[in-house]
Amino acid sequence: MAQIGPNEFKNGITIKVDHRICTILEFQHVKMQMRAPTIKTRLRDIKTGQVLEMNFRQGDKFEQMFLESRKMQFMYSDDDALIFLDLKDYEEKRIPRTIAADAAKFIPENAEVPINFLEGAPIGIELPAAMTLTIKTSEAGVKGDRVSGATKLAMLETGHEVQVPIFIQPGDRVRVNTETGQYLGKE
């Protein structure tokens, strides 16, 4: 693996930091009077999705990791894994639920999503910031209450439940934030 220093950082590069594999979201060189310059970074841990803020010095060295991103089609899920069809070689791949994490709540059947692999092993699913999904079921709303901002619980086609405005009905298509799981708007 290639070794890089903070001088070679670029947004989007993946490095190994303290046994974590992280992608650089942003970085900034900071020069202070009478001190050595530091590099302030925002990193995203690939396995947990957690955003970290870390500072590094010029002499620090990191192992650069090379991820392979493959487009795969979600087929179905079982108790402990999600089953995808690799669109490159048409083989079924099992992605454990521990790796899929919260992404499993937002992937409808037959959706094509990129999956990151490191040295041939899956390490994470890349979802867009928002996805459009269909409402499967919802509670009945109170007729006439459209001003108060009232919400009700609705189940998406993926089985995830989300709070939506009372005018949303089963069969409606809605946009959902994949990071927070919140309703964004009706399509």
pTM, 2 dp = 0.70
pLDDT digits (tens, 9 = 90+) for 18-30: 888 888 888 998 8
Predicted pLDDT at 143: 63
Residue pair 85/55 in contact by the 8 Å Cβ criterion? no
Is pLDDT above 70 for 148?
no
Neighbours of 8 (CB within 10 A): 12
pLDDT digits (tens, 9 = 90+) for 63-83: 988 888 899 999 998 888 999
Q: What are the structural domains of the chain? A: 2-65 (2.30.30.30), 68-125 (2.40.50.140), 130-186 (2.40.50.140)
pLDDT digits (tens, 9 = 90+) for 151-179: 889 999 999 999 999 888 999 999 999 88
